[in-house]
Structure 1
Amino acid sequence: SAVVFPNKISTEQQSLTLVKRLLAVAVSCITYLRGIFPESAYGTRYLDDLCVKILREDKNCPGSTQLVKWMLGCYDALQRKYLRMVVLAVYTHPDDPQTITECYHFKFKYTPNGPVLNFSSKDRQSDSPISCADTKKASILLIRKIYVLMQNLGPLPSNVCLTMKLFYYDEVTPPEYQPPGFKEGECEGMIFEGEPMYLNMGEVPTPFHMLKVKITTDKQRMENCDESILKQREPDLPLPVLMVAGDEAEESQHVKVRAQICTVEGNH
């Protein structure tokens, strides 16, 4: 089976390829272990010695096909350096996608040399060049942390839907830009059902990109989790409203956020 890592990350294109693959692995891992799509919607790949499931188009599972198309839209915005954040959210009422029960944030930064996939709360402050080994180590750590968390979280409700919002760096993104599969959306906050728990999963740097991943889940689903698994973070805003557009003031000061949304029902 295909592997995730390129042999080296010395060009922007190699870095972009890795960041796309990491996003695919993370989204696939989350949806697989949360039971959102059936086994038939996944293939198998290897991240070093770690066997991972990768979402694929499955004619018997329209939801997985839709999510794959969303991912291609993310890739389009990523390679243009427009994409700032992807929010994948789980909700339980088909007519109310703004009230969510779990969500996953993927933040992207583009370094002067290229793109980075960033998973931590603080920027890496270092003048030393980032080696392929550093990137590989951070990537494996990130995916392992997601795996451990997903395997220990309490289950989602039996019938859930997914929504995806994309946020851009508006100073470089044309106002009329729409990636394939998305439409213009509102950037209001989401209402969280229950008591949200905010979890920083980590950060993956390359010489060209940075990726950060954060997860928000219901505190009750954390009952079986060892607190040492992940550092818990206090919410930035009063509960239970999650303003995904401005969760980090230093990022949102100069960025007018635009969101785009599509909806798909999960299959249990």
Structure 2
Amino acid sequence: MATAQRSHTGKKQKPAKESLLFPPKIATEQQSLVLVKRLLAVSVSCITYLRGLFPESSYGTRYLDDLCLKILREDKSCLGSLQIVKWIQGCFDALEKSYLQMAVLAIYTNPKEPQRVTELYQFKFKYTKDGPQMDILSVGGSPQMRVSSDEVKKGSILLIRKLYLLLQHLGPLPNDVTLTMKLFYYNDVTPDDYQPPGFKEDSSPESLLFDGDPVNLKVGSIATGFHLLKVRVTTESKRMRELGNSLVQENGPTEISHQGLDCVEEEEGCNTRV
């Protein structure tokens, strides 16, 4: 897929009516699931749009405060965008079943070496019952505080804003890149034969190798009391422009194994499927 860096500011012209992206209240598991699914869809859409991966026709427009968001839609004239939409729907299926531990959207340049990536985006999920909590860009630990539905929504908007800010400050990708998505599951609850729509068993679940000097960036995390979502980005250091130090983590190893991808923080196992 040929790419061209987008330089949109994300500002909107005030519409007559704002589009509702997130549920007005987040007090039940179903409302939390809706929020997490939309955060994932919006994030992946932002990534593909601001990294210039698909044409304008592949996106619809939604508004979030003063941000004009481009959301992927089923564009039959662009097979790549259709595939991404199928991947997102597959993630939804795994989220609904509480199977999905992490989704990794990886970008690589050599079709013969899909394990050698040049940029990747991690979306890690946990399923909790601890009541509404939020942790946005925590530094030196994981402090949490009890919050209301409004605060969870504000945190979700902040997460999208920070992702937008990061993407707008990254240098362009190579001219020709290819996307892949890998899913990791909680082994203790996921059936061995489970395959979400749009995915198949990974025939070569080898470690990903980063092509270049990687920089790991933490975008943030959001917890609703039912779900926890963390967003991380790894990119080539030469694509970095002026970013706040709070976004930058220590450089990761050249080889990004499952654990290097933040797949296992505790004792849960995970399978890989693409």
SS of the residue corresponding to residue 270 of structure 2 reads coil
Instruction: Return 153-162 or 203-212, whichever deviates more.
Output: 203-212
Task: State the one-letter code of the partner of 1:242.
Answer: I
Structure 2 residue 251 is matched with structure 1 residue 232: no
Q: In the TM superposition, what whole-angstrom CA distance separates every residue of 1:183-229 from its partner, at most 9, and x where no partner exists?
A: 1114321111110000000011212111100000000000xx22316
The equivalent residue for 1:243 is 257
Q: 1:145 aligns with which of 162, 166, 178?
A: 162
Give the strand-richer structure, 1 or 2: 1
Equivalent-residue separation in structure 1 for 2:142 and 2:33 (angstroms): 19
Structure 2 residue 220 is matched with structure 1 residue 202: yes
SS of the residue corresponding to residue 184 of structure 1 reads coil
Q: 2:239 aligns with which of 218, 221, 228?
A: 221
Equivalent-residue separation in structure 2 for 1:34 and 1:155 (angstroms): 7
Q: In the TM superposition, what whole-angstrom CA distance separates every residue of 1:205-263 from its partner, at most 9, and x where no partner exists?
A: 212111100000000000xx223164211145xx31111345448x35523321111xx
Determine if contact 1:111/1:208 at 8 Å carries over to the other structure. Answer: yes
* Identity across matched positions, percent: 55
SS of the residue corresponding to residue 68 of structure 1 reads helix
Structure 1 residues 114 and 53, CA gap change in structure 2 (3 angstroms): farther
Task: State the one-letter code of the partner of 2:206.
Answer: E
The equivalent residue for 1:28 is 45
Determine if contact 2:186/2:268 at 8 Å carries over to the other structure. Answer: yes
Unaligned runs of 5+ in 1: 262-268
Q: In the TM superposition, what whole-angstrom CA distance separates every residue of 1:157-191 from its partner, at most 9, and x where no partner exists?
A: 11110000000111111111111111111432111
TM-score scaled by length of structure 2: 0.86
The equivalent residue for 1:3 is 20
Structure 2 residue 192 is matched with structure 1 residue 175: yes
SS of the residue corresponding to residue 197 of structure 1 reads strand
Unaligned runs of 5+ in 2: 1-17
SS of the residue corresponding to residue 244 of structure 1 reads coil
SS of the residue corresponding to residue 28 of structure 1 reads helix
Equivalent-residue separation in structure 2 for 1:145 and 1:33 (angstroms): 13
SS of the residue corresponding to residue 159 of structure 1 reads coil
Q: How far did residue 28 of structure 1 move?
A: 0.3
Q: 2:205 aligns with which of 171, 183, 187?
A: 187
Structure 2 residue 89 is matched with structure 1 residue 72: yes
Q: How far did residue 123 of structure 1 move?
A: 3.7
Root-mean-square deviation over aligned CA pairs: 2.2
Equivalent-residue separation in structure 2 for 1:133 and 1:104 (angstroms): 27
Structure 1 residues 106 and 117, CA gap change in structure 2 (3 angstroms): farther
Determine if contact 2:134/2:155 at 8 Å carries over to the other structure. Answer: no
Q: In the TM superposition, what whole-angstrom CA distance separates every residue of 1:128-177 from its partner, at most 9, and x where no partner exists?
A: 3x311221111111111111111111100111100000001111111111
